[in-house]
Amino acid sequence: MYNKNEVKESLEIEDIYAILEDLEAEPDYQGEIITSRTICHDGDSHKLYYYPEQRLFHCYTECNESFDIFELLNKTLGLSLNDAINYVVTFFNLQWKVENDSYSNNEDVRLLRHFQDLHSIKIDNNEDIELPEYDESILFHYPQPRILNWEEEYITYDALKYLGIKYDPTQGAILIPHRDINERLVGIRQRTLVKAEEQWGKYRPWVHNKKTYNHPLAYNLYGLDKAKDNIAKMRTALVLESEKAVAQCIGYLGKKNNIAVACCGSNLSKYQVQQLINCGAKNLVVGFDADYSHVMDEDYWKCTEKLSKIYYNYSAYINISFLLDKRGLVLKDKQSPTDLGKDVFMYLWENKVYVQ
């Protein structure tokens, strides 16, 4: 059973927005809050407010009360508390974030959990999900200028054009089209360049004319449409956290050697692993950000535990290694293996960590 408070605290404002969108509540960002239709009592007025600091909704009409996301799901879908919690965990694939048990040092227990995990995942090669497609024309008239901030961070203009990345001058945001393996436009994320907006998340779904171009991130891999042929030839895939890291990697390796994709988070779903296996990958290299300041501190152990979870979940199906700065020589807190240039990236690649 998942802890209610841990699940609730793991949700960012864009996650709440995505749930409201899924519930057809017509959400809209209003500065630091979200307003939406009063779905709590099937109303039509946009008087349901979400306050991220309190992590609470308040209905300013018929209900005239405050409640959290789980109570909203009870009001709208009739879910019990446990079912509402499971709904949120499944919706965002949060299992790793809210897992209460840690891996034991006892080898017998570790082997047992390994066995249990491998049988619970059950990779199914026939499973296929087609996400809704957005109209391509929405991006036609947006410019594709050089982004000097990104060029200073090892992203070439050629890589930016190759990925179809554009710029929205009205919102001061970089527009990042997300395509599925068949090159269909399934989502558009924005990376804000406005410092004041970063408190609500550097990356979030693009909103244009009150329409949100979001998609469930766990059911796609950014950049797979570009990398799939190379992954098949090399039988190796590199999974990074962000779209920016994929762009950096293209600059380092070139288009002909690009095997990089992004899961857009620090978790890897069963469906994403399945997609890579179906592309012909026999080897999976995970290059997540360094979510720790110093090797051997508490955050370092949390980070390695999360990576161990990925290994134990999927190693029966694909060989897994990690770009992990286990000696603390190069990466600082929150830096990607691609953030410090090609030499550092190649050092980490040549010193991949394998779980014994």
pLDDT in tens, the chain (356 residues): 678 888 888 888 878 988 898 788 888 888 779 999 999 998 889 999 999 888 999 999 988 899 999 999 999 988 889 888 888 887 765 654 444 433 333 333 333 333 333 333 444 555 567 888 999 999 999 999 888 888 888 999 999 999 999 999 988 899 999 999 999 999 999 888 887 776 556 777 888 887 878 887 878 999 999 999 999 999 999 999 999 999 999 999 999 999 999 998 777 888 899 999 999 999 999 999 887 767 777 777 777 877 888 888 888 999 999 998 877 677 777 789 999 999 999 999 999 988 75
- Rg of the chain, C-alpha, whole Å: 21
> Are residues 323 and 202 part of one domain?
yes
- Whether 102 is in a domain gets the answer no
Can you give the pLDDT at residue 356? 55
Distance of alpha carbon 160 from alpha carbon 149, whole angstroms: 12
Distance of alpha carbon 286 from alpha carbon 241, whole angstroms: 9
Domain range holding 228? Answer: 117-356
**Domains held by the chain: number:** 2
Q: Supply the CATH number for residue 130's domain.
A: 3.40.1360.10
Distance of alpha carbon 306 from alpha carbon 310, whole angstroms: 7
- Whether 211 is in a domain gets the answer yes
> Are residues 299 and 210 part of one domain?
yes
Q: Supply the CATH number for residue 33's domain.
A: 3.90.580.10
> Are residues 142 and 9 part of one domain?
no
> Are residues 69 and 136 part of one domain?
no
- Whether 101 is in a domain gets the answer no
Predicted TM-score (pTM) of this structure: 0.68
> Are residues 355 and 288 part of one domain?
yes
> Are residues 81 and 16 part of one domain?
yes
| The two structure tokens encoding residue 170 | 């009205």
Beta strands in the chain (DSSP E): 28-30, 33-36, 48-51, 56-59, 66-67, 166-168, 173-179, 185-192, 203-205, 207-208, 211-212, 236-240, 260-262, 283-287, 319-322, 353-354
